[in-house]
Structure 1
Amino acid sequence: MSSLLMKIEPRGQVGSNKVKQLRKDNILPAVIYKKGDEPKAVQVSEMEFNRVYRVAGTTTVINLELEGKKHPVIVKEVQRHPYKNQILHVDFQELNMDETIKVSVPIVLLNRDNIRLQPSVLTQMLDEVEVECLPNNIPNAVEYDVADMTFDTPVHVKDLDIVNDKNITVLTELDSLVCTLSEPAREVEEEAVEGEEGLEAGEAEDTEETE
């Protein structure tokens, strides 16, 4: 998997007021975490972060360039304002490229708008799977084509191609349900109403005959 480059700087400002000033200057406070090391307080241009994060997400290795050295990381967490469209803080996890890592990989259902069996309702129960692998083997996403799904063939984790990848261990239960395809509820309700109306009509006829 290819990696991206992001330029960052050490952060000396750690108080809440100083962090607020950073955000006003369109600079994001961040921390680099690494197993066995003290966390590093850093900062990154909001524009620079968005440029890279838009491509990398949480599954692509990013090389952070800090004081002339490169640190391979993934984005571990992005803290956002509860109601403003604003990033408040970023956590990076530094990687040992020779050690496996546990990550959550998003599930992407392909051809959602081209399902051959219509009318139908596609329901996705699982949005991601947890895997363990070397950093360079982390997939951007787990894809599954739902174009040929039927009502009686729900998709489980064991049906995903990633299960057969020898470089990746899937940690999510293989019997976990990913998605199902069902008939629209409205049609079922209409059939039930029609059945009730037919029953009522039949009862009315029986009553008239009795009288």
Structure 2
Amino acid sequence: MSSEKIVAEVRTEFGKGAARRIRRADKVPAVVYTHGEQPRHLTLPGHDTMMALKHGGANALVELDIEGELQLALTKQVQVDPIKRFLEHVDFIAVKRGEKVTVDVPVHLNGEAAKETLVVTENATVSLEAEATHIPEWIEVSIEGAEAGTLIYASDLVLPKGSELLTDPETLIVNVTQQQSEEALEADLESAEDEAGIEREESDEAAAEGDDAGE
């Protein structure tokens, strides 16, 4: 994973009012956490930061230029406005080249399973240990032609060189089952409703058919 360079400013103002002023200037408040040191509060350019996170994925690696000092940092938490979708705040962890880090990496399915099957992703991420500069954006899993009954476990995943699986190897990642017909789904629903004592209201069509039959 390559890092993208972002020019950062040291932040001296804090609180909600200061954060609002930073965002109005199309910038993003951020914090870099370093083991054994005080957190560094920064202001980042909004567009550059958004693009870096978009390109790097969930574990984006950036190179922060903090007043001429370069610091590699791994994205740990991103807060996004739920409506306007702008960045509200970003937390980073300072890392070094060659340093091993623990990350959660998304699983991407590739291909199409056999006809009349249902593909269920039981776990959408796996935990890995990898070098900070070689974190995979995702782990690809092929389900091309997979038949009903196919089970893919964490131990089946092909990891990039240098990555070590931390998730339990027996964790189920993908479950390919037989797709149920509409008739079978309807029967299961009716059975569940009967057990729960739920009575269905008769539809207008069914009522009309009943009236016609009685004439």
Q: Give TM-score, length-normalised by structure 1.
A: 0.81
1:130 aligns with 2:127: yes
Instruction: Output aligned runs, 1:22-37, within 5 Å.
Output: 22-37=22-37
Gaps of 5+ in 2: 189-215
Match of 1:183 in 2: 178
The Cα of 1:87 is off from its aligned counterpart by 2.2
- Work out whether residues 98 and 133 of structure 2, in 8 Å CA contact, stay in contact via their aligned partners in 1: no
Instruction: Output aligned runs, 1:103-142, within 5 Å.
Output: 103-111=103-111, 114-115=112-113, 117-142=114-139
Distance 2:166 2:108 in 1: 18
Match of 1:170 in 2: 165
Amino acid at match of 1:68: G
Distance 2:101 2:133 in 1: 10
The Cα of 1:36 is off from its aligned counterpart by 1.2
Q: Name the SS for the 1:126 alignment partner.
A: coil
The Cα of 1:166 is off from its aligned counterpart by 5.7
Amino acid at match of 1:124: T
Amino acid at match of 1:173: D
Distance 1:29 1:134 in 2: 27
- Work out whether residues 30 and 42 of structure 1, in 8 Å CA contact, stay in contact via their aligned partners in 2: yes
- Work out whether residues 58 and 74 of structure 1, in 8 Å CA contact, stay in contact via their aligned partners in 2: no
Instruction: Give the percent of matched residue pairs that are identical in Structure 1 and Structure 2.
Output: 24
Query: How many equivalent residue pairs?
Result: 188
Which of 129, 137, 142 is the matching residue for 1:145? 142
Distance 1:64 1:186 in 2: 54
Distance 1:121 1:80 in 2: 33
CA RMSD of aligned residues (A): 2.0
Distance 1:89 1:60 in 2: 15
Amino acid at match of 1:87: L
Q: Could you list the runs of 4 or more consecutive aligned residues of structure 1 that deviate by over 4 angstroms after TM superposition? A: 190-193
Change (3 A) 1:85 1:191: closer
Match of 2:2 in 1: 2
Q: Give TM-score, length-normalised by structure 2.
A: 0.80
Amino acid at match of 2:64: L
